[in-house]
Amino acid sequence: MIYFDNSATTPVCPEAANTALRYMTEQFYNPAAAYSPAVSVERDVNAARARLASYLNAEQSELIFTSGGTESNNIALSGTLAMRRDKCRIITSAVEHPSVFEPFAALKAQGYDVVVVGVDKTGCVRMDELSAALTESTGYVSIMHVNNEVGAVNDINGIYHLVREKSPSAVFHCDGVQAYIKMPAVQCDMYSFSGHKLNAPKGIGGLYVRRGTRFKGGQTGGGQENNLRSGTTNVPSIMALDVSAKLWTDNRTERLENMTRVKNRLYSNLSRIKDIKLNGPEINDSVPYILNISFLGVRGEVLLHSLMDKGLLVSTGSACAARNRGKNRILTAMGITGDRQDGAIRFSFGAGNTEAEADAAAQMIEDSLSLLRRFRRR
């Protein structure tokens, strides 16, 4: 089996799994308890928090643990707006993850002044549109770091300075789920990330909140996370994330170089096939771990199932939007429609993928296309 869907989730690495098991069965104590074994676990969690925050050039106190990217994105927005009394302008882009885009849509129905800025043909935010949308009354801006479907990289530092210039009182949030640790740290007021994109378990993530940012927090209850996100601390997953993040940091250059080789090898192999189109940035301008290609004359879902039967796992877009039928919102915003949109497949690579897998995958795709294109609609 060849797994080329690492943007959806990644396998938990053995080191992280073993760490989680140890904190489930041996060091299982609740860090909120007063006895010494629990206090020791609390120290471990705080040390992990400090390390995970350091990858964002942040302080330990600026990192809140959450259940993942969706929760982080949601509470960043709701916790910021809860500190305001007005229904201010809030800005996002047309290609955001559903966990950002859908809450914005809901707030629009509640009377907020929602502005959705467009993107260029590569999937990057149009800076001129963003600049025009920013006003003194803007309260919140959310722009993703790396697009999860086409691998486009936004100029987050440039956007941060633009927001500071045009809307000094606005909070700038960045969805970093597809970028945390893999990409250099950026300037922002809030940054979301998720463990299961980094070979850690599902159900753990974080939200960086810059010191001084007005933020009410998320769910209430026992007062965990400095009373900003209550709920029993998920110690096993936090410690597993700490381990997997350190492995990523220690081996980042080697891993990204390997992913680049795999991506380029697959693209080179596929380029010999007739009627294919690259979606997103040029091959060397996107992140090393995401490749989106349209195979004209074949529906993506049909090709996906054919490849699955051959042992190749890929996707037609975001896993969080896969159950929603209809047009692909991200590709539509990029101006990709019709047969090109219908035939789009996303390949996303992980630390363990190889060039040999890229060769085998390309042959599987070529074999499937030679059969499926015979039955293309006329």
Give me the pLDDT at residue 226, please.
Answer: 86
pLDDT at 238 (0 to 100): 99
Cα–Cα distances in angstroms (integers) from residue 311 to residues 56, 124, 232, 347, in the given order: 37, 33, 40, 14
- Residue 375 is predicted with a pLDDT of 74
**Parts of the chain with a pLDDT under 50:** 378
Q: Which CATH fold would you assign to the domain 2-8+252-375?
A: Aspartate Aminotransferase, domain 1 (3.90.1150)
The single-letter DSSP state of residue 231 is S
pTM for the model stands at: 0.95
Residues catalogued as catalytic: 320
Domain positions in the chain: 2-8+252-375, 14-246
Give me the pLDDT at residue 242, please: 99
Q: Which CATH class is domain 14-246?
A: alpha beta
The length of the chain is: 378
Whole-angstrom Cα distance, residue 160 to residue 163? 5
Q: Which amino acid is at 354?
A: T
Radius of gyration of the chain (CA): 21
